[in-house]
Amino acid sequence: MGPDQAFMRGWFQRYYQSSPPRAPERLDRREFGFMFFDRDYVQRHLGFGEVGQLHSFLQGQVPSHAYYSSAYYQLPAAASMEEKKWLGADLVFDLDADHVKGAEALTYAEMLARIKVELLRLLDDFLLGDLGLDASHLKIVFSGGRGYHIHVVDARLATLRSHERREIVDYIAGTDLNMEWVFPERITSVKTFRAGAQESRVRSIPSVASGGWRRRMRDGIVWLVEEMRSRDLDDLRARLPTLAKESDAMIEGMLRDIYTKSGSREGAELMLSGNAFSSFSDRRHLDLFLRLLEEEVKPRFTAEIDEPVTSDIKRLIRLPLSLHGKTGLRVTPMDRERLSAFDPLRDAVPEIYPDRPIEVYAPRPVEVDIKGERFRVQGICEVPTYAAIFMIGRRMATLEVPADG
């Protein structure tokens, strides 16, 4: 074990001795798994009958990462999944930077702020909104690393199998959302001739009382119309890639139907007041607008979740109040009320980490915001211990100074 690993392990041990995690619900039915500073394998298929056994393991073995199963088993410590005998599982959602476009260009703090936006959408629009889950059944957890988890502990959902959980994922992602269902055609008039009858049809817009994806796409009309207002064609193509291969004439025709065919009222106001796309004089212009709603607007109303995690009924997930080996931050549980003001780089730093300065070496320029302080360092420098733990965990700095340093 190198000095960096020994340093991290020492502080993790102090933490577990002073602040051992609470036992998760139904502790004796959970499988546990761990990774370590001084070993290159995952130890799993472990079970603990009481919280004291878990605490003794954490304090003695000092894992770098601690996990427990979302599933409940009859025999959680059995060596094979078949022998464990699955009884049910919490419904778990995982949101992290791997699923946020452009996250690689953001700072750590900016990345976490972006993910919180996705988290709030998932919570408020889908879980508490459309699905009608009780807030008391939701456990929100900062992962200690690059995102958040939501555990839904509800007996009504515990026995859902993978394919049923996948249906929930598909709903949140808007997978295969049928635009003909969202915006159905209806007959507005019928003219009868000797040779037959001619129907006039219009594509309807969901009413203001609609819910779910119909409400979202109604709101999306307003967003899209405002997004396109007063922009030149090059700007529109850059902001809405769906338009990249459309001709100037087609785009201009669509915009003309939206903004100049509506009398004194422009765009979305007239469409929504009539609950219909009646201002489009050319069906091709309407088809393009509907394609924009599907390809550009719909993704803005989804929540970016790690889809395999939710559908997996035997997943290992980070143990709340354990520590994350790549940051030293606490895996922090909270309720919805606390989430809005939660700052991971302030509230997930364990109180046991001191301000005492420690010398580290940063081979490249490093900028870190933590506990309300900003540190810009390179080379040999002193930083508070709490900042050193974070920087060493993220491999931004080391305790070892090169011989030529």
- Say whether 369 is catalytic: no
The residues of the chain scoring below 50 in pLDDT are 263-264
The per-residue pLDDT for 264 is 47
Q: Are 326 and 8 in contact (CB under 8 A)?
A: no
pLDDT digits (tens, 9 = 90+) for 160-179: 999 999 999 999 999 999 99
pLDDT digits (tens, 9 = 90+) for 31-71: 999 999 998 889 999 999 999 999 999 999 999 999 999 99
Fold of 3-174+304-347: DNA primase, PRIM domain (3.90.920)
The per-residue pLDDT for 261 is 59
Q: Which two tokens stand for residue 248?
A: 């100037």
- Pairing mode of beta strands 332-334, 138-142: antiparallel
The per-residue pLDDT for 127 is 96
The per-residue pLDDT for 116 is 92
Q: Are 328 and 391 in contact (CB under 8 A)?
A: no
- Say whether 306 is catalytic: yes
- Say whether 96 is catalytic: yes
pLDDT digits (tens, 9 = 90+) for 135-162: 999 999 999 999 999 999 999 999 999 9
The per-residue pLDDT for 99 is 74
Buried b (16+ CB within 10 A) or exposed e, 308-330: ebbbbbebbbbbbbbbbbbbbbb
The per-residue pLDDT for 236 is 95
Domain parsing of the chain, residue ranges: 3-174+304-347, 179-301, 353-405
Residue 155's region, left for phi above 0, alpha for psi from -120 to 50, else beta, is alpha
Instruction: Identify the active-site residue in 90, 125, 257, 306.
Output: 306
Instruction: Identify the active-site residue in 96, 125, 257, 312.
Output: 96
Helices in 34-178 by DSSP H: which ranges?
51-61, 81-84, 108-120, 162-173
For the chain, how many residues are written? 405
- CA angle 399/403/405 to nearest 5° reads 75
Instruction: Identify the active-site residue in 94, 125, 257, 312.
Output: 94
Q: Which of 83, 167, 15, 377 is nearest to 387 (CA)?
A: 377
The per-residue pLDDT for 33 is 97
Q: Are 288 and 236 in contact (CB under 8 A)?
A: no
Q: Which of 63, 61, 71, 82 is nearest to 31 (CA)?
A: 71
